[in-house]
Amino acid sequence: MITTTVAGSLPKPSWLAEPEVLWAPWRLEGEGLIEGQRDAALAWIKIQEDAGIDIVSDGEQFRKHFVHGFLETIEGIDWRRMTTMGIRNDRYDAQVPTVTAAISRPGPVHGDGAKFCRARTNRQFKITLPGPMTICDTIADVHYGSRPEMAMAFAAVLNQEARELDALGVDVIQFDEPAFNAFMDQVPTWGVDALNRAIEGLNCKTAVHICYGYGIKANIDWKQGLGAEWRQYEEFFPALNDSKIDQVSLECANSKVPLSVLGLLKDKEILVGAIDVATDVIETPEAVAATLRAALEFVAPERLIACTNCGMAPLSREVAEGKLKALGAGAALLRAELH
Ligand code: ZN
């Protein structure tokens, strides 16, 4: 009861990439890079285990960007044709490659990293993939001409990847869909269909992470304009509850999401974000327990998994480690209370 996990990314060590910078270039290359990524993942697995995290992640140490890291080897994408595109409904600009032909996956993307980690922890192991709608919102397209159609094509290659990760013994595969929060009206019409296609035939647990983004300035400014109560989730949670996904991850720490919206996800396990990733202030275990306790009004304890609001990649290692410890300790407090 009240198990713990993380949303996904964790900071890169300074010898692997420049710290506290999102999507920083690698400081190693070739074989040295692979060795560095493995060592970094191993360090984070140990830190998560020590902090009492039940379902651990590789911290996304094997990829630079949570969307483009998956796309790098996908065929049909032209990386010389970079476009500046307003993403997440024009919230901020990003440099994105272009889809110029039907996409296909020539081979495994995250398989090696997952195999390495799977063999080195006895805890449940989780891996994240970008969701189809978010991929479509982080890439330019001159081939498909329709986002719903392109999303189904990406869902098919994501499904190939996910089936292989499932067969390697990965316990949870999470699809990151921050775009769900930018295109609320499109989630019920095609976002959920693409997500269902991506998880077809999987035996492991499946999750979707929706969020208000990393603690970068564009997101902080956007949140300030969202009003006193963030009710975006209401618009598509009914469709999400009808989807085949097992778990939904969302932010609840220092968030203006009214917890009552969790009542719309009665058939799902909820990853309740109890760690704010937009501040360096480390939560106390009591504060974590209080956030989780508040969610219990709408989520039965057996469906509640304590989590971080979002990835912690932009934070310093020390802050991220402190927050992991607070998360583990806060969940333990609540467990003790419920016994
Ligand atoms: Zn997030």
Cα 311 to middle of ligand 1, angstroms: 6
278 CA distance to ligand 1 middle (Å): 11
Question: Coil, helix or strand for 170?
Answer: coil
Residue 259 confidence (pLDDT): 93
**Token pair for 82:** 């970079």
Ion ligand 1, residue ranges at CB < 5 A: 211, 310
Structure tokens given for 127: 């891996």
Residue boundaries of the structural domains of the chain = 3-338
What CATH architecture applies to the domain 3-338? Answer: Alpha-Beta Barrel (3.20)
Q: Per-residue pLDDT for the chain (339 aa), expressed as one digit of tens each?
A: 899 999 999 999 999 999 888 789 999 999 999 999 999 999 999 999 999 999 999 999 999 988 989 999 999 999 999 999 998 888 888 899 999 999 999 999 999 999 999 999 999 999 999 999 999 999 999 999 999 999 999 999 999 999 999 999 999 999 999 999 899 999 999 999 999 999 999 999 999 999 877 667 777 787 877 787 888 889 999 999 999 999 999 999 998 889 999 999 999 999 999 999 999 999 999 999 999 999 999 999 999 999 999 999 999 999 999 999 999 999 999 999 998
Does residue 261 contact residue 231 with C-beta atoms inside 8 Å? Answer: yes
Q: Which amino acid is at 228?
A: A
pTM of this structure: 0.96
Q: CA-to-CA distance for 281 and 91, rounded, in angstroms?
A: 26
Residue 308 CA to ligand 1 center (angstroms) comes to 9
Measure the CA–CA gap between 144 and 28, rounded to whole angstroms. 36
Identify the CA nearest to 161 among candidates 211, 121, 201. 201
Here the tokens at position 153 are 């094509």
Q: Where are the beta strands (DSSP E) in 8-74?
A: 55-57
Beta strands in 16-90 (DSSP E): 55-57, 75-87
CA of 31 to the centre of ligand 1 (A): 30
Tally Cβ neighbours within 10 Å of residue 32.
11
Measure 104 CA to ligand 1 centroid, in angstroms.
26
Helix (H, G, I), strand (E, B) or coil at 57: strand
Q: What is the pLDDT at residue 84?
A: 93
What does each C-alpha distance from 326 to 50, 176, 301, 322 come to in angstroms? 12, 24, 19, 6
Amino acid 215: pLDDT: 66
Q: How far is the CA of 339 from the centre of ligand 1 (A)?
A: 31
Give the Å distance between the CA of 17 and the centre of ligand 1: 21
